[in-house]
């Protein structure tokens, strides 16, 4: 018999609203429809290692609409995750960018970089803003070169559905539309 033990926020994983919102939804309460389907790709590779601001996202406003799933890619995981520099050098989302995404009422955010700078602000305002708006966040996807050139893809995010958890490892698959 084998045993498996892991941090719920290790590798590619999902943050459900309950991660920082006491009455937020847990992973098992997220719907299949919000985790699977057409997704807008925002290619931010030119900003790898930089903070993603509202001004940067504003250049992509025509691509992102109400209730869209959004995948933002910089290449940070593929370039730095196993070098020991990822948490020091990866991009992050600023609070202004989080508010920009909330205003557009996106349904899901997927990224290959830090949602919030580490160590960053200990109160985690970016996470609290996004999760407080009931927007789940899938962090640390990899192999983005396969999808970065597309405007839209089909994505499937399949978290371990453990009742009551705030986050779990998540299998993410994608294909062109």
Enumerate the domain spans of the chain.
Answer: 13-176
pLDDT on residue 136 = 98
pLDDT on residue 32 = 97
Q: Is 170 helix (H, G, I), strand (E, B) or coil?
A: strand
Which CATH number is 13-176's, of 3.30.43.10, 3.40.710.10, 3.50.30.50, 3.30.1110.20? 3.50.30.50
Q: What's the N-to-C CA distance of the chain in angstroms?
A: 41
For the stretch 116-135, what's the b/e string if a residue is b when 16 or more beta carbons lie within 10 angstroms of its beta carbon?
bbeeeeeeebbbbbbbebbb
Q: Is the pTM of this model over 0.85?
A: yes
| pLDDT block averages, 10 residues each, the chain of length 177 | 88 97 98 97 96 96 92 95 89 97 97 90 93 98 94 97 96 95
């Amino acid at each position: 018999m084998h045993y498996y033990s892991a941090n719920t926020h290790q590798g590619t994983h999902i943050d459900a609203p309950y991660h920082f919102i006491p009455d937020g939804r847990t992973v098992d309460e997220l719907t299949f429809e919000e985790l699977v389907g057409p997704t807008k790709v925002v290619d931010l590779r030119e900003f790898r290692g930089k903070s993603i601001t509202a001004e940067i996202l504003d250049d992509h406003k025509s691509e992102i609409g109400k209730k869209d799933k959004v995948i933002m890619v910089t290449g940070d995981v593929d370039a730095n995750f196993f070098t020991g520099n990822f948490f020091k050098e990866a991009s992050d989302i600023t609070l202004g960018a989080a508010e920009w995404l909330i205003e557009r009422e996106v349904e899901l955010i997927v990224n290959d970089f830090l949602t919030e700078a580490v160590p960053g602000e200990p109160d985690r305002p970016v996470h609290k803003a996004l999760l407080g708006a009931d927007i789940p966040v899938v962090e640390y996807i990899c192999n983005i070169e396969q999808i970065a050139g597309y405007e839209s893809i089909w994505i499937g995010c399949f978290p371990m559905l453990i009742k009551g958890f705030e986050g779990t490892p998540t299998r993410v698959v994608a294909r062109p539309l």
